[in-house]
């Protein structure tokens, strides 16, 4: 049975969405009405999400890490200081973009693009520390039951809609086998709502990913759609 990894899947989802945001910001035509505001809002929403994610880690993971491996926890604390500076710089650039005169928009867009990529660079380094320093320390000093309890506590803190949103952000970035295992567990926990739950969490998958998921679960794609319509 695979070891419990508190970071792997959610970090894969974050990487995929950060890279997508960088590509789409870099290629966006922000000369159209409202486009600059849309791109700025996407950047601000991302930094807000990443700050909330850091709060979740502090609440549910890093207390245990500080108790068992304080040096690893100290390394993460140092990373947070660097990350906060990158988040703030990106937010400042994003907030100024919508009010930029039309003739200055290309340069302002590129400046925001650079700030976003600087933040991504800092964030990738942070993820690397969590995955190669913090998680191995937890595997060494905490039991599987304790790591399982961390997962359970976090899940209990999320509303049903928050939990579905978490899955929609994460599932497209995962390989087929772990994606199917996660969804199998989710729909197995609510057998009376299995079809509607499956339909709800698979909305962000590509057609090929969705087809593979249904195939791995052993259900026809029309099953979840039909069940969802009946709810």
pLDDT of residue 40: 98
pLDDT of residue 231: 44
Q: Which helix (H) or strand (E) holds 71?
A: helix 70-96
Q: Could you read off the pLDDT tens digit of each residue along the chain, which spans 231 residues?
A: 679 999 999 999 999 999 999 999 999 999 888 999 999 999 999 999 999 999 999 999 989 999 999 999 988 888 878 899 999 999 999 999 999 999 999 999 999 999 999 999 999 999 999 999 999 999 999 999 999 999 999 999 999 999 999 999 999 999 999 999 999 999 999 888 888 899 999 999 999 999 999 999 998 877 665 555 544
Encode 126-149: b = buried (16+ Cβ within 10 Å), e = exposed: bbeebeebbbebbeeebeeeebee
CA quadruple 53, 56, 60, 65: dihedral sign: positive
Whether residue 118 contacts residue 86, with contact meaning beta carbons closer than 8 Å, is answered with: yes
- CATH class name, domain 8-153: mainly alpha
pLDDT of residue 76: 85
Q: How many helices (H) and strands (E) does the chain have?
A: 12, 0
Contacts of 215 (CB under 8 A, 6+ apart): none
Token code pair at residue 39: 């791109």
Q: What angle in degrees, to the nearest 10, is found between the helix axes of 105-129 and 35-60?
A: 20
Picking from 16, 14, 22, the residue whose alpha carbon sits closest to that of residue 43 is 22
pLDDT of residue 82: 82
The C-alpha angle with vertex 31 and arms to 27 and 35, in degrees rounded to 5, equals 75
pLDDT of residue 224: 60
Contacts of 177 (CB under 8 A, 6+ apart): 216
What is the C-alpha to C-alpha distance for residues 86 and 84, in angstroms, rounded to an integer?
5
Tokens 């890490």 -> residue: 65
Q: How many CA atoms lie within 13 A of 199 on its CB side?
A: 16
Main-chain dihedrals φ then ψ at residue 101, nearest 5 degrees: -60, 150
pLDDT of residue 47: 98
Entry pTM: 0.91
Q: CATH 1.20.120 occupies which residues in the chain?
A: 8-153
pLDDT of residue 80: 79
Whether residue 154 contacts residue 165, with contact meaning beta carbons closer than 8 Å, is answered with: no
CA quadruple 156, 157, 160, 165: dihedral sign: negative
């Amino acid at each position: 049975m695979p070891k419990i990894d508190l970071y792997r899947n959610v970090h894969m989802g974050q990487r995929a969405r950060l890279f997508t945001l960088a590509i789409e910001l870099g290629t966006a035509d922000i000369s159209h009405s409202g486009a600059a505001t849309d791109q700025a809002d996407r950047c601000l929403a991302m930094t807000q999400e990443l700050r909330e994610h850091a709060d979740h880690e502090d609440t549910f993971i890093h207390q245990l890490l500080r108790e068992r491996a304080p040096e690893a926890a100290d390394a993460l604390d140092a990373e947070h200081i660097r990350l906060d500076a990158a988040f703030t710089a990106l937010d400042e650039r994003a907030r100024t973009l919508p009010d930029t005169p039309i003739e200055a928009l290309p340069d302002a867009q590129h400046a925001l693009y650079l700030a976003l990529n600087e933040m991504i660079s800092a964030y990738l380094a942070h993820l690397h520390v969590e995955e190669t320093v913090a998680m191995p320390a937890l595997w060494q000093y905490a039991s599987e039951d304790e790591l399982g309890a961390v997962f359970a506590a976090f899940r209990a803190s999320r509303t049903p809609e928050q939990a579905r949103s978490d899955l929609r952000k994460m599932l497209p970035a995962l390989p087929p086998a772990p994606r199917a295992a996660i969804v199998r567990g989710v729909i197995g926990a609510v057998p009376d709502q299995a079809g509607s739950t499956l339909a709800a969490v698979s909305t962000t998958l590509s057609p090929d990913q969705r087809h593979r998921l249904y195939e791995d679960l052993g259900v026809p794609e029309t099953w979840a759609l039909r069940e969802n319509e009946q709810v």
